[in-house]
Homo-oligomer: A and B are copies of this chain.
Amino acid sequence: MRKSALVFTVAIIVLSCSWQLLAWRHAPRFLGKFAAGTHTHTHTQAPEYRYETRYFQQRLDHFSFSDLPTFPQRYLISTEHWVGPQRLGPIFLYCGNEGDIEWFAQNTGFVWEIAPRFGAMVLFPEHRYYGDSVPYGSTEEAYKNATTLSYLTAEQALADFSVLVSHLKQNFSAQGCPVVLFGGSYGGMLAAWMRLKYPHIAVGALASSAPILQFEDIVPPQTFYDIVSNNFKRESVTCFNYIKQSWNEIAYTGQTSNGLERLAKTFNLCQILKRTGDLYDWLESAYSFLAMVNYPYPSEFLMTLPGHPIREVCRRIDGVPDGTSILERIYEGVNVYYNYTGEAKCFELDDDPHGMSGWNWQACTEMVMPMSSNQESSMFPPYEFNYTSFQEECLMNFGVKPRPKWITTEFGGHDVHATLKKFGSNIIFSNGLLDPWSGGSVLQNISESVVALVTEEGAHHIDLRPSTEDDPDWLVELRETEIRLIESWISDYHQKNNAIFDM
């Protein structure tokens, strides 16, 4: 038993080397390939939430009357704590993001933990084209080409959620029950957008780590990598500098004879290194994900990691004996991310960096998030986002032309404070400033009920994670504030309904 778990863990580690050139250069993925896999079941400490798994037939295109096949949308549902329609028990809907919904359910303890307090139904609908919710019969067919993929968009996903919850409300005679949206990362963007676009369906949204402003020129393109870099600098300036210097070392070594071989050996790769770029990707991926999961306690979200993992990475990079080469230092450091359990024998880099994946498709169509790396402030190799070459890559890889201005046309962003000051209500934008995605989110209150909850020491949607005994006070308080706000939305909803009813 133990052995097979071990083998599986190694398999995960192999999978983990998934940072892709395309994705990295332009739009870091939120969660890597983890989200798409089913590896989470091996986490022995994973909480056991009880739910039923069901399927609902959805239209492939909600916005036309094309005669397309429907597809089964998977959703997880629990009515265990729901007080039912007569007492107007709320419905908590987590907006599934780019991956297997079971994994998000496992990693969104907050919703499960507060549901009993609210007497709420819990729903986790899966995002179309991910997990089990694929059209055309199989993931292979769904991801075949640009034509089959063309309905993988955020607007269609929001319509899926809206149609599903309307259907369920009717089935449960629960038309009067308020729906509260939850979401983290891309799921948080969906939650915020759904509250804006479907206010008649949901009374409010907790959008955690939702970078709805990471489009066009709304925030500076270097924001993301600057925040990652600052995560390292705040722990150790020397560590930051070692990493900053390492890229040239890698490039230089790669150009020497047997250089790629030596790099493969230094970094304990299972196979030969074809180009230094692949190693760049592997390292950059580790640093970015480390910043996202820079939690104050040990976690197993993306990988098994200690608390304050970047502190540990820098402790190792800085702590090796004098005279150790920069590359050996780096190797010591990234071991914290890729092999904290010590179970990996060697590391395998992704050999299909341009492969079709759902998020890469989304990044090449709607989710165009320009990312640069600044010469001065970033520890990453300098890079300036170039839309023309980005578009070429998308055309080459997917046969699709991105629509870089569509998201701001459809959902806004440029003037979010002015627009939402009087329009819209009941949205929490929660962000931890260690999270590199926080720079693209809403960090200031917009109105009385469109609020920003910002924590200095928080990382990627930490508030949505299961509570632990190690939770710092600020995290406990953050969640209490969120609960109070959600309570106020629901009581406000009841008051308004009574007022209308009394009219």
A residues whose Cβ falls under 8 Å from a Cβ of B: 61-67, 146-147, 149-151, 153, 155-156, 159, 162-163, 166, 175, 196-201, 365, 400, 403, 405-406, 408-426, 449, 492-493, 496-497, 500
Give complex CA distance A149, B196 in Å.
Answer: 29
Which residue of chain B has its CB nearest to the CB of A421?
A: B496
CB of B65 within 8 A of CB of A365, answer yes
Contact of A200 with B67 at beta-carbon distance under 8 Å, contacts A409-B163, A422-B496 already known: no
Can you offer 11 A-B residue contacts whose CB atoms are under 8 A?
A62-B63, A63-B63, A64-B64, A64-B151, A65-B149, A163-B409, A166-B405, A199-B419, A418-B497, A418-B500, A423-B425
A216: min CB distance to chain B, Å: 11
CB of A409 within 8 A of CB of B67, answer no
A184: min CB distance to chain B, Å: 23
A417: min CB distance to chain B, Å: 5
CB of A197 within 8 A of CB of B199, answer no
- How many subunits of this chain does the assembly comprise? 2
CB of A423 within 8 A of CB of B421, answer no
CB of A400 within 8 A of CB of B65, answer yes
A428: min CB distance to chain B, Å: 15
Give complex CA distance A18, B150 in Å.
Answer: 40
CB of B200 within 8 A of CB of A419, answer yes
A357: min CB distance to chain B, Å: 16
CB of B67 within 8 A of CB of A146, answer yes
Which residue of chain B has its CB nearest to the CB of A415?
A: B200
CB of B61 within 8 A of CB of A63, answer yes
A99: min CB distance to chain B, Å: 21
A169: min CB distance to chain B, Å: 11
CB of A410 within 8 A of CB of B162, answer yes
- A-B residue pairs, 3 tightest by C-beta: A200-B412, A63-B63, A65-B150
Which residue of chain B has its CB nearest to the CB of A401?
A: B65
Give complex CA distance A149, B421 in Å.
Answer: 39
A499: min CB distance to chain B, Å: 8
Contact of A66 among B65, B150, B163, B493 (CB under 8 A): B150
